[in-house]
Amino acid sequence: MQTPGKISLRYREAGRRPAFALCGCLLLVLCGLGPCLAQAQTQTLQVLHWWESTSEHKAINVLAAKLNEENIQWREALIPGGSGVGASIVLKSRVLAGDAPEVAQLNGMVTLGEWADLGLLLEFDSVAASGKWDKLLFPTVLAIVQPRGHFVAAPLGIHRINTLFYNRKLFSQYDLAPPQTWDDFERVATKLQQAGIVPLAQSSEPWQVATLFETLVLAESGPSFYRDLFVRKDPHAFADPRLAHALGRLRMLKKWMASPIQERLWTEVARQFADGGAAMMVMGDFMKGELNAWGFATDGAFGCTAVPDTGNYHLYDVDTLVMLATDGSHRQAQEKLAQIIVSPAIQSDYNQIKGSIPVLRNPDLSKMDSWSRASWKLFSRGAAFQVPSLVHRMATDEMTKDAMIAVVHRFFMDDQISVSEAQRRLGAIARAMTRK
């Protein structure tokens, strides 16, 4: 029997049902039996997204199961890739072709604002008003989901990107403490490498390299300078020595990684870490959800701490779903999904699986592990401690993000590119984007 959210590929295509099911349903209707009529009236929502890992599927199933209780079927439109680049292209193509899904994953206030300006997103202010979203949600989350004054997205959860995972067994074996500063990290990494252990797991995939880099910028400078670079795109900031130090540290960290550094999916790198192939890894806390889905306990096999020198900051990513403004026939189901997403019970269950924290000001803290509670408490302290992730579409527009990630990735892969040249290229992007 199929479970909600786990519909086989055979049935993902709209309108396809086995002939025997259609004949059987017709027979029951002709006989005057009600259940088949109710089945025929089941609404469907096609959801385009890029969540494909084990934990992501489990989290999706929470939403799909709740929708199913409302007689609404979650119909998968999964775009593989894990970073959302392919999903964005597919979504744009489908909208242009007049074949938009009813629901899609879109992240970032700038991105949401651009789509809203085109009139492509359903506004559901009435849902937000009846649900008292203005009282339930964090102010930062409120600003993201109503970029032009109208609610156009439903917030799922908040990820902390500046998370350092460490192998508890290895740290205990070599009497090591989780590094709080980069000086601590150097000492820990030296001991691990001398023992024949890879200190830091890392992929050369561009967005993963840039994730490490943005945490280094934050560690070097703090939130104000970080925002000068990636939010305000101040050209003068790109000549600052603090950016040079972050780039230099990014290159220096390569000596603590396995050689050669291969391009692998984040789940593959996480598996290397989980299997003891590396002692530490920098990744968003969605990796915690994945490790738990594989059978590891947060307070057992691995631990979480902030990336060195970023303990006072929450580098955040907010996942959101939008409802596409189609012909209006799915509006009731779309609004029901938005309502479900923000409900306290779903917020608790979904984020517990996903590794993120609820978007609510007063969630059930008892259902969070120690790292999630710490992340939630830090985020709740307000904007002074919150920093929008460049890589995860929180800081700027898609074009700027992609261009900067490309420069950082080339610098990381090619030791012939100097720090000053990388700075110059990043500054040129900032100048070009501010002149648009």
- The CATH architecture one would assign to domain 44-160+318-375 is 3-Layer(aba) Sandwich (3.40)
- Which residue ranges make up each domain of the chain? 44-160+318-375, 163-316+383-434
On whether the CB atoms of residues 194 and 379 are closer than 8 A, the answer is no
What per-residue confidence (pLDDT) applies to 296?
84
Q: List Cα–Cα distances, 283 to 105, 189, 335, in angstroms.
A: 21, 17, 33
Query: How far apart, in whole angstroms, are the C-alpha atoms of residue 153 and residue 145?
Result: 5
Region 47-66 average pLDDT: 95
pLDDT of 10 higher than 50:
no
What per-residue confidence (pLDDT) applies to 11?
29
Q: Read off the pTM.
A: 0.89
Of the chain, the end-to-end C-alpha distance in Å amounts to 53
What SS3 state is found at 163? strand
What does the mean pLDDT of the chain come to?
Answer: 89
pLDDT of 225 higher than 90:
yes
Q: Which two tokens stand for residue 113?
A: 């604002």
Q: List Cα–Cα distances, 216 to 212, 306, 336, in angstroms.
A: 7, 12, 41
Q: Which of 14-23, 32-41, 204-213 has the lowest mean pLDDT?
A: 14-23
Q: Quick check: do 44-160+318-375 and 163-316+383-434 share a fold?
A: yes
pLDDT tens track for 335-380: 999 999 999 999 999 999 999 999 999 999 998 999 999 999 999 9
Query: How far apart, in whole angstroms, are the C-alpha atoms of residue 180 and residue 298?
Result: 19
Topology adopted by domain 163-316+383-434: D-Maltodextrin-Binding Protein; domain 2 (3.40.190)
What per-residue confidence (pLDDT) applies to 299?
55
Region 287-300 average pLDDT: 86
Place of tokens 């290159």: 251
On whether the CB atoms of residues 341 and 193 are closer than 8 A, the answer is no
pLDDT of 58 higher than 50:
yes
Region 297-317 average pLDDT: 91
Region 322-344 average pLDDT: 95
For the residues of 297-363, what is the DSSP string, one character each?
A: -TTTTEEEEE-TT-TT-EEEEEEEEEEB--SSTTHHHHHHHHHHHHSHHHHHHHHHHHS-B-SBSS-
Place of tokens 């990636």: 230
Residue 37 — pLDDT band, cuts 50, 70, 90?
very low
pLDDT tens track for 378-401: 999 999 999 999 999 999 999 999
pLDDT tens track for 409-431: 999 999 999 999 999 999 999 99
